[in-house]
Structure 1
Amino acid sequence: MAPSPDEVLQDVKVLGPLNDGTKKVLSKDAAGFLALLHRTFDKTRKALLQRRMMRQAELDKGHLPDFLPETKHIRDDDTWRGAPPAPGLVDRRVEITGPTDRKMVVNALNSDVWTYMTDFEDSNAPTWDNMINGQLNLYDAIRDQVDFKQGEKEYKLRKDRKHPTLICRPRGWHLEEKHFTVDGEPISGSLFDFGLYFFNNAHELVKRGTGPYFYLPKMESYLEARLWNDVFNVSQDYIGMQRGTIRGTVLIETILAAFEMDEIIYELRDHSSGLNCGRWDYIFSVIKRFRQNSQFVLPDRSAVTMTVPFMDAYVRLLIQTCHRRGVHAMGGMAALIPIKHDPKANEAAMDSVRADKLREARAGHDGTWIAHPALAPIATDIFNKYMPTPNQIHVRREDVHVTANDLLNMNVPGKITEDGIRKNLNIGLGYMEAWLRGIGCVPINFLMEDAATAEVSRSQVWQWCKHGVATAEGKKVDKDYALAMLNEEAKKLESNAPAGNRYALAAKYYAGQVTGEDYAEFLTSLLYNEITSVGNPLGASKL
């Protein structure tokens, strides 16, 4: 006998404030669905996170990853395919990404792009207000009710064109949502973000000609993709939706996932809409997973381009794998933003964007990411010229042969410089300070920095300290050197910042992450308690 609604909601608590608008997305029925997801899948999620730590212990002993022998039959089987492109996802040549605040939602949907990745993850600081209001903003946007006024300025959806297809990115499996508990435990951030978006909008999206589509971040194995597929099946069954309606594009942004691309598509195959090159997180993952191994020390971040051996191998393998399986191979982010006060510098920056997008289009990618609407014409022109068809799935790249050694080839020319260290400290401090104020992406030196780039920055300094490298200027990088430079950069940033800034707190946390000693799996997990606002519990049965 099925439990009653009140029994389902027993021991389900909301610990963040709600208003009439946000109660629209966190209703009793929605809370019951979230509770079902938590009770069904959280045990598996935690076991998979523990598996990550076990793999890390092996890597720390010097073991290197390889393609899995137990799944060779999947890689060798030429007969299986992923799902055909879903409505609204056939052509994805330019995708804009950004957080889910109301202004961003309106501006992104008014952009001349094909899709909009609405981000609850790396470009979004997970305060309760950001997460619950972000769900409301998307709920309203899907129903053409998102127009609003801010001061004297009005933000309205354009009526003269079709809006980009929405793709929602929930948080990774490692993060929790402490403002919503089930049986005394916080729900997974992944399940909270996915669950609310899916439950409230899936049928409405299908009615409007698209569907519930997702970007899936930070996975490290095909078993984590299997978990998502199980979540998708249970969720579709629960609301009476045909299986296969959901589509998920997986960001290959960890080095371990790069060895399991075929398997990841296979696990999601009826729900798969391809893979994406998550370049900055990928570099972060290489440093993080091999941080104890001196053979993996990289030079300044600016030298680790998409054309260095391990990045080039990753791109070529991803495109070949996706197209062999009939799904999209999406390119990476253009993080540059316009430099309005310096036309010469701006032109140089835009030229670098053109070169990057040209590389992607010629390599066989089916589309690319931008962080700013002004980059849309550049990316569009390149892909229109080199991809006259809606995608390039027909470009099989049968010339590609990538080995495990290719994916682990750290032959990266470049130096470790004092300027590179300062930039890493500056970026990490700037990002963390903004994040602690509830802002998940921040322009620094005309680049839109998010959690991924901040992770690269702190991980590089940690790695250089751990292995005692020497800079090009002849200085040994150690704990004292890193902390002294961190203190200098923090004081400079704080002295130029308005009152109420959080640089002192950012520096306190950052100091524990750049010395080659302690190392948090993720900065966002490390800082999360600083931006939680847990209040008096409201039983979900009273929503």
Structure 2
Amino acid sequence: MTEQLTALESSDTLVSSQELQINGSAVAGQEQVLTEGTLCLLKALCKQFAAEVPNLLANRQAKQKRIDSGELPDFLEETQALRQRDWLIRGIPQDLQDRRVEITGPVERKMVINALNANAKVFMADFEDSLAPSWQKIVQGQINLRDAVNGDISYIATETGKHYSLNDNPAVLICRVRGLHMLEQHVQFGGVAIPASLFDFCVYFYNNYRKLLSKGSGPYFYIPKLESHLEARWWAKVFAFVEERFCLQPGTIKCTCLIETLPAVFEMDEILYELRSNIVALNCGRWDYIFSYIKTLNNHSDRVLPDRQSVTMDKPFLSAYSRLLIKTCHKRGALAMGGMAAFIPSKDAEINQQVLDKVKQDKQLEARNGHDGTWVAHPGLADTAMAIFNEYIGEDHINQLHITRDVDAPIHARELLKPAKGECTEAGMRLNIRIALQYIESWINGNGCVPIYGLMEDAATAEISRTSIWQWIKHLQPLSSGAIVTKGLFQEMLVEELAHVKDEVGADRFTHGSFTQAAVLLEQITTSDELVDFLTEPGYQILVE
């Protein structure tokens, strides 16, 4: 094979339109996953599908312009007949039918082991929102997942000497790829950086599908950030192409789609239909959904959200989103997964009880609504979530597909778009600044999963923090104190909160960290005239430099 990559190293030579080029520095063990077969499949996927991605992203921008001009999201008229017809997805494999608790986390080696050993049915290994995608971490993450699938993953902590290895019955593994908007700049096809989603999907699939199928499982994926059924159609074509290429039965590859954008909630039936051969579930990605609500409706002054802490799942627009997802999924035979409990257990008994009480309240609401399972970010919360879903699911079922919510009144667009009531406070704004500062600082230093003030923050919660302030600035939002939010007010608070963070983390950590660089990036994206779609895009430029 003339294009075979015998060395994975940088090159400044011009490449043909059909050549795949790896520009990332060598990572120890990369030959285990970046094999000739892997790269051959990746080249085929790029040749067949990469050129469509810019068009899909352009469709997003065109739709956003219409919404900025006054149009509101709504259900599609042209697919009304599809929504009214009776049809079902192909089916759910045995090991994905019981997903009452899923734990999520990045693909770092120790975290993979701990998550697979937790009291959870599924571990979602995340290459997206909880991972800062340096080339080192992306490649090492694929090695870690390959070792986990093979059952021989282990880890020895350098600081304590503690040994970590898999238990006998680990959780089912699902790989979450990066969204369509992300590029993998260390891999080029025809001289252009390739879609990161194709890289993540290809490397995980090729290295693990045989072993997974031999164990009675399969190549399972979480697909994030979808905004339309046309994007779901693209994924369906990718799956069908790979299944045919490897002589697999149609529907061997299975996916769960995160409904975490406002446009997507109006196309859930259509997304399920396009992926009906491969899809098994939809998931309420609540934090990204709140971020998307702000981003999508950023030009609508009557839909400004209040303090992040007051935007909870009992707010009408979030409750409607949860209930509609359940009703839509169960009508089509798909599971309806609940959202994330981002709390972190505390060593202080009183504080920990408060954490557990909040988690119980949240998970009881989800289970009562009819969700088939939920997410936790920390193994210490898995038992609490499991107990609640055990209670609601009962001994006679393994999920809640039998809850159809047919007696519910129809959920209309106005409910999904209803503004949330609550205060916009100075304290809330300052907290947003501190959270965003600390998260961005960690992210550009390679850590995408960061404990801050008792919560496990990822990119989604940092996105809420900075876009909320951006929207307040845009609409000159008055705070409860009477102050008007302007660029100047934000910049004053940023300086003050940067000093506050320095006091919190200590002078040594601050000096050796990248907090000033994080503050510069936060100021740029929060005071820009146009809303920056994702902070991870400018952040990625810093990460890869």
Q: TM-score band (shorter)?
A: over 0.9
Give the TM-score, by structure 2 length: 0.94
Give the TM-score, by structure 1 length: 0.95
**Whole-angstrom CA distance in 2 between matches of 1:52 and 1:234:** 25
- The match for 1:124 is 131
- The match for 2:240 is 233
Q: Indicate yes or no: 2:483 matched with 1:475.
A: yes
Q: Secondary structure, in 3 states, of the residue corresponding to 2:210?
A: helix
Q: Indicate yes or no: 2:203 matched with 1:201.
A: no
Unmatched runs of 5 consecutive residues or more in structure 2: 6-15
Of 486, 498, 502, 2:514 maps to 502
- The match for 2:312 is 305
- The match for 2:444 is 436
Q: After TM superposition, give the deviation of residue 209 of structure 1 in Å.
A: 1.4
Q: Indicate yes or no: 2:120 matched with 1:113.
A: yes
Of 418, 424, 428, 2:426 maps to 418
Q: Secondary structure, in 3 states, of the residue corresponding to 1:108?
A: helix
**Whole-angstrom CA distance in 2 between matches of 1:67 and 1:20:** 49
Q: Indicate yes or no: 2:529 matched with 1:517.
A: yes
Distance 1:4 1:267, change over 3 A: farther
Q: Secondary structure, in 3 states, of the residue corresponding to 1:306?
A: coil
- The match for 2:385 is 379
Range 488-497 or range 520-529, more displaced? 488-497
- The match for 2:77 is 69
What letter corresponds to residue 350 of structure 1 in structure 2?
L
**Whole-angstrom CA distance in 1 between matches of 2:320 and 2:313:** 9
Q: Secondary structure, in 3 states, of the residue corresponding to 2:512?
A: coil
- 8 A contact 1:494–1:501 mirrored in 2: no
- 8 A contact 1:279–1:332 mirrored in 2: yes
- 8 A contact 2:34–2:203 mirrored in 1: yes
- The match for 1:192 is 199
- 8 A contact 2:27–2:136 mirrored in 1: no
Q: CA RMSD in A?
A: 1.5
Q: After TM superposition, give the deviation of residue 296 of structure 1 in Å.
A: 1.0
Q: Secondary structure, in 3 states, of the residue corresponding to 2:480?
A: coil
**Whole-angstrom CA distance in 2 between matches of 1:20 and 1:530:** 23
- Spell out, residue by residue over 1:157-201, the C-alpha distance to the aligned partner (whole angstroms, 9 max, x if none): 344x41100000000000000001111011101000011000111
Distance 1:38 1:94, change over 3 A: same
**Whole-angstrom CA distance in 1 between matches of 2:20 and 2:51:** 17
**Whole-angstrom CA distance in 2 between matches of 1:195 and 1:9:** 20
Q: Secondary structure, in 3 states, of the residue corresponding to 1:97?
A: strand
Q: Indicate yes or no: 2:478 matched with 1:466.
A: no
Of 350, 358, 377, 1:344 maps to 350
- 8 A contact 2:27–2:139 mirrored in 1: no
- 8 A contact 2:30–2:143 mirrored in 1: yes
Unmatched runs of 5 consecutive residues or more in structure 1: 534-543
Distance 1:443 1:181, change over 3 A: same
Of 325, 328, 331, 1:321 maps to 328
Q: Secondary structure, in 3 states, of the residue corresponding to 1:122?
A: coil
- The match for 1:22 is 30
User: After the TM superposition, which residues 150-299 of structure 1 pair with which residues of structure 2 at under 5 Å, given as runs?
Assistant: 150-151=157-158, 152-159=160-167, 161-299=168-306
- 8 A contact 1:100–1:124 mirrored in 2: yes
Distance 1:329 1:483, change over 3 A: same
Of 338, 342, 348, 1:335 maps to 342
- Spell out, residue by residue over 1:227-263, the C-alpha distance to the aligned partner (whole angstroms, 9 max, x if none): 0111111111222222201111110000000000000
Range 412-421 or range 11-20, more displaced? 11-20
User: After the TM superposition, which residues 25-104 of structure 1 pair with which residues of structure 2 at under 5 Å, given as runs?
Assistant: 25-78=33-86, 80-104=87-111
Q: After TM superposition, give the deviation of residue 339 of structure 1 in Å.
A: 1.6
Which structure exhibits the higher relative contact order, with contacts defined as CA atoms closer than 8 Å and separated by 6 or more residues? Answer: 1
Q: After TM superposition, give the deviation of residue 156 of structure 1 in Å.
A: 3.1
What letter corresponds to residue 228 of structure 1 in structure 2?
W
What letter corresponds to residue 529 of structure 2 in structure 1?
E
Tell me the number of residue pairs that the alignment of Structure 1 and Structure 2 aligns: 527
Q: Secondary structure, in 3 states, of the residue corresponding to 1:148?
A: strand
Q: Secondary structure, in 3 states, of the residue corresponding to 2:481?
A: coil
- The match for 2:359 is 353
Q: After TM superposition, give the deviation of residue 4 of structure 1 in Å.
A: 6.5
- Spell out, residue by residue over 1:91-147, the C-alpha distance to the aligned partner (whole angstroms, 9 max, x if none): 000000000000101111111110000000000000001100000000011101211
**Whole-angstrom CA distance in 1 between matches of 2:316 and 2:189:** 46
What letter corresponds to residue 506 of structure 1 in structure 2?
A
- The match for 1:540 is none
What letter corresponds to residue 512 of structure 2 in structure 1?
G
Q: Indicate yes or no: 2:376 matched with 1:367.
A: no
Q: Indicate yes or no: 2:415 matched with 1:406.
A: yes
- 8 A contact 2:17–2:191 mirrored in 1: no
- Spell out, residue by residue over 1:217-236, the C-alpha distance to the aligned partner (whole angstroms, 9 max, x if none): 00100000000111111111
- Spell out, residue by residue over 1:313-358, the C-alpha distance to the aligned partner (whole angstroms, 9 max, x if none): 1011000000000010000000000121x32122111101000010
**Whole-angstrom CA distance in 1 between matches of 2:18 and 2:92:** 40
